[in-house]
Amino acid sequence: MVLAGKAAGKRVTSLADLDGVSLGIEGGTFADAALMGFDHGRLISQITHLVPGRGELLPKLEQGEFDATLIALHRDDACRIEHPDTGIKPSG
């Protein structure tokens, strides 16, 4: 989980901690299924879906279009290498 915007300082230890946080996710991914199915769809109204493979997820998070996303750790690491000044923070 990586955070930005109003969620940047939020402590996230479970998906339940994402109530009230706008989420961006690539459709059709495992992360999408996990967020959509969590607690019988509790987070559905907070999710914005993006088309996978277009490289839009992290830039849109950085631009504030949503406050958090669920991605593989290596993608966050790659983003930090390319953009060391990013405002995106891992959830811990």
- Structure confidence at residue 66 (pLDDT): 94
**Is 82's pLDDT higher than 90?**
no
Q: pLDDT tens digits, residue range 37-71?
A: 999 999 999 999 999 988 899 899 989 999 999 98
Q: What is the pTM of this model?
A: 0.86
- Structure confidence at residue 85 (pLDDT): 87
- Structure confidence at residue 91 (pLDDT): 82
Q: Which CATH number fits domain 2-90: 2.60.40.10, 3.40.190.10, 3.40.50.12170, 2.120.10.70?
A: 3.40.190.10
Residues 6+ apart with CB under 8 A from 68: 1, 2, 3, 4, 7, 10, 12, 18, 21, 22, 23, 24, 61, 91
